[in-house]
Amino acid sequence: MLDFLSRFFGRESSSSKNVAKERLRLVLVHDRANVSPDLLTALKNDLINVISNYMEIDEKALEVSLDSSDNQVALIANIPVKKMKRAN
Amino acid sequence: MGEVIVVTSGKGGVGKTTTTANLGTGLAAASKKVCLVDADIGLRNLDVVLGLENRIVYDIVDVTTGVCRLRQALIKDKRFEGLHLLPAAQTKDKTAVNPEQMKELCEELRKEFDYVIIDCPAGIEQGFRNAIAGADRAIVVTTPEVSAVRDADRIIGLLEAADLREPKLIINRYRPKMVNRGDMMSIDDMNEILAIDLLGVVPEDEQVVVTTNKGETVVRDDKSLSGQAYRNITRRIMGENVPLMNLEEPSGLFSALRKMIGLK
C-alpha cells in the first residue's frame, strides 16, 4: 500500500532524477578522465593479446569500462574465461 | 581597480545573458559602477535583453580595431546610474577579436569600473577563450539538466586549466515542485556532481520572460522570486554572506498529504 502511495506521490526509487544522476556520474568519469572510445578499444585489444597468452577468453563478451566511487576512478574489466591453458 | 567577472556555461540557452543583465542591473542599483561586455560576437543579444538595442553606435570590434575610442562605444543606461554596456559586433565573427586584445580591454575597463561583467558565448572555442582572457573570476551558469551539467563540468575543467580557480556556480531555472517529486536534480545533487561553490539558485519564473520582453530586468521586480534570487546573488558578489532563500511555493493539499503519510 505504501509502495502504491509512494508511486502515486511520485517518490519511487527509480525517479527520473536518480536516472539522470547515475548517467551523469558515468559520463563525467569519461569526460574528466579524457578517455575516448578509441582509447578504450585499443586498451581492450591489448588486454586480449596479453591475457590470451595465459588463457582462452571470450573476446566478444569482454567488457572494459571506467567507473567512479568516492572520487576515485576504477578500471573495471569483465573477462569471461573459456579455458585455461595447460601449464607446460 | 575593479574586478573582471566572466559569466559562462558551455551550453547555450541556460541563461548566461539574462544572468549578466540581472547582475549588472543589480550591482548598478547598489550604486556600483558597472560595465557589461557582450563577448558573443556575431550573435549580439545583451543589448536587446537590456533594452538598449536602439542606442548602439560602435561595438567591441570597433574598439579593438581602433575605429573608435573605448569611451565612444560604451552605452550608458539612462535608467540606472552607473550601468554601461559595451555591445558585441553583429556582422563579424569571433575571430575578429583575440585574447590579447580582450586582456587589454579588461585592463582599461577595470580602471574605471567597480565591476566588469563579461557575457561569454556558448561553446569552448575562440569566443570562450576571448571571454575568459582578462577575467579575475568566473561564474558558471547551469540548469538542472544532464546536458547543461555535463557542459558545466567541462567548462569548470577548462577554467581551472586557464588558471581561473574556484569558479562559482549559479543554478538557473530551478523547479522545486519537480525536485520534490524526484523529477529534477536538487541543489545537493548538483553540488555533489559539480563540487564547486554555489553562488545562488534562481527559480524558474515567468516574470523573467515578461521583463525581458520589455527590455527590463527581473532583478528590479520586488515581487518575483527570481528577482529576489538575483538580488541575493548580487549581494554575494559584493562579499555579503546571504543565506539561500526558501524556494518552496506555498504548500497545497498534495504536499500536506504527503507529509501526513511520512513521505515528506
Q: Which domains are assigned to chain B? A: 3-260 (3.40.50.300)
Among B155, B258, B259, B264, the residue to mutate for chain A (most A Cβ within 10 A): B258
Question: How far apart are alpha carbons B38 and B47 in whole angstroms?
Answer: 8
Neighbouring residues of B26: CB distance < 8 A, sequence distance ≥ 6:
B217, B219, B230, B231, B233, B234
Q: Do A16 and B183 touch (CB under 8 A)?
A: yes
Residue of A nearest to B157 (CA): A32
Confidence bin at B232 (pLDDT 50/70/90): very high
- A41 pLDDT band, cuts 50/70/90, is confident
Q: Is A2 on the interface with B (CB under 8 A)?
A: yes
In this complex, is the C-beta atom of A4 within 8 Å of any C-beta atom belonging to chain B? no
**Residues in chain A within 8 Å Cβ distance of B184:** 17
Grid coordinates standing for A49? 593479446
- Mapped onto helix, strand or coil, the DSSP state of residue B119 is strand
What sections of B60-140 are H helices per DSSP?
60-64, 70-73, 99-112, 126-133
Those residues whose C-beta lies under 8 Å from the C-beta of residue B188, and which sit 6 or more positions away, are none
Give the pLDDT band (50/70/90) at residue B34.
very high
Distance from the Cα of B218 to chain A's closest Cα (Å) equals 29
Does the structure show a pLDDT above 50 at B14?
yes
pLDDT bin (cut points 50, 70, 90) of residue A38 is: confident
Closest Cα partner for B155 from B18, B8, B2? Answer: B8
Residues B171-188 have a mean pLDDT of 97
Is the pLDDT at B258 greater than 80? The verdict is: no
CA atoms within 13 A on the CB side of A54: 6
**b/e for B168-185, b at 16 or more Cβ within 10 A?**
bbbbbbbbbbbbbbbbbb
pLDDT of residue B264: 46
Mean pLDDT in chain B? Answer: 94
CB contact A6 to B (< 8 Å): yes
Contacts of B179 in chain A (CB under 8 A): 17
Cα gap B186→A10, rounded to integer Å: 15
The C-alpha of A29 sits at a distance from chain B's nearest C-alpha, in angstroms, of 11
Least Cα separation, residue B8 to chain A (angstroms): 19
* Cβ-count burial B118-155 (b if 16+ within 10 Å, e if not): bbbbbbeebbbbbbbbbbeebbbbbbbbeebbbbbbbb
Q: What is the pLDDT of residue B254?
A: 61
Does this complex have an ipTM over 0.85? no
Mean pLDDT within B170-192:
97
pLDDT value at position A39? 79
Query: According to DSSP H, which parts of B113-205 are helical?
Result: 126-133, 146-161, 176-180, 187-194
Determine the pLDDT at residue A4. 54
Cβ-based contacts under 8 A for chains A and B: 53
B146 CB near a chain A CB, below 8 Å? yes
- Which chain B residues have a beta carbon less than 8 Å from that of A30? none
Q: What is the model's pTM?
A: 0.81
Instruction: Give dist(CA B221, CA B216) in Å, integer.
Output: 9
CA B160, CA B61: separation in Å to the nearest integer?
Answer: 28
pLDDT for res B94: 85
Residues of A whose CB is below 8 A from B189: 17, 21
User: Is the Cβ–Cβ distance between B94 and B127 less than 8 Å?
Assistant: yes
Residue A1 has pLDDT above 90, yes or no: no
